[in-house]
Structures are given as C-alpha cells and as structure tokens.
Amino acid sequence: MLPVIVGITGASGVIYGVEALKALKELSIPTHLILSRAGAENLKIETDFNAEQVKSLARTSHDPENLAAAPASGSFLTKGMLVAPCSIKTLSAIANSYTDNLLTRAADVTLKEKRTLVLMVRETPLHQGHLELMARAAQMGAVILPPMPAFYHNPRTIEDLIKQSVGKALDSLGIANQLFKRWSGPS
C-alpha cells in the first residue's frame, strides 16, 4: 500500500492533522509526517498533544529541513499528500513553487508527479491575495479543502465536526473512510 504524506503547519487547526494521522493509522495506511516547527509549537497551544506523541502516530517522521528525505523525490511513490492545516505562508510557497523546506518540496513533488495534494487552508477572512493563491494552487492541480463544518450529519461535538472535515480530505485522496455519516437524502 502506498503511503500518504501528512504535513502539519503552524496554522490554527493542527488537530486536523492529528486526527488525519489517527484515521490513517486505524486504516493501516502508512504515513510520512512532516511537522513544521510552527506546527509543533501550535500543538502545545491548541491541543494536549506534544510533537513526539504526534510523530508516534506516523510510520515515519521527517525533519522539515531535510531536503534529502524520501518525500523530496518523485521516485518515492506515494498515494498523495495532505497538508492539514495549511497556513497561508505554506499555501504561498506551494503556489509559487518555493521549496525551501521538506514540506513545500514534498507538496511540489506531489503536484509535478500528478498525485493528489489536498490543502486544508486555514484562514478567515480571506483577502484577494489569499484567494489568488488558492486559485493558483488549484490550477496546478491541488485540491483546496478548507475545513468547513457540515451539519447534515447532526454533529454533537467538536470532534464530530473535525472528523467530518478529515473524512472529506481522505475522500479527496481516494481513501474510503467512515469518519462521518454521509448524506443519503432527507429522512
């Protein structure tokens, strides 16, 4: 089974990356984690997880500064990549092919190899520059998937909302999951 690369940046919403890693592990899908320095800091601010705990959820964890790591090469086969959350800084780097760290290099490789790149962009409100970056990344082949809560599945907890967004991201990667109740028409 091909691995999925999971990038976690310093944007608010690092729990999306954590929950994606948990779900992929439960599905026995191998993962390669690239946790940015800001992402590691934000784990301490927003969650009860530390970087080592999150790294332990992945099969392999890479130093974000190691541009010689496997995900930096197109010959390293993957199912695709999920950046959850994706900061505007990271979006800008991806949209402009600025690959100064492993996370943005892996995203660039994912696009050039025509694999699925899912960006859970986390920012609000958005100005025209943000929208143009998203459009540019989408034109290059990225899936822009901001975590937008749905309510048709009658969420009861924040975890329900998070899992629905993560489930949609996994759907975009072609990974079957049951993280949320799917719409089947009005009851």
Binding site, annotated residues: 10-12, 36, 87-90, 122, 152, 168
Please state whether beta strands 116-121 and 4-8 pair in parallel, antiparallel, or not at all (unpaired).
unpaired
**128 and 141 in contact (C-beta within 8 Å)?**
no
How many residues comprise the chain?
187
> How far apart are alpha carbons 156 and 41 in whole angstroms?
29
**84 and 169 in contact (C-beta within 8 Å)?**
yes
> How far apart are alpha carbons 171 and 106 in whole angstroms?
20
| Burial classification of residue 179, based on how many CB atoms lie within 10 Å of its CB (0-12 exposed, 13-18 middle, 19 or more buried) | buried
Report the binding-site residues for FMN. 10-12, 36, 87-90, 122
Nearest alpha carbon to residue 31 among 89, 78, 63 = 78
Report the binding-site residues for dimethylallyl phosphate. 152, 168
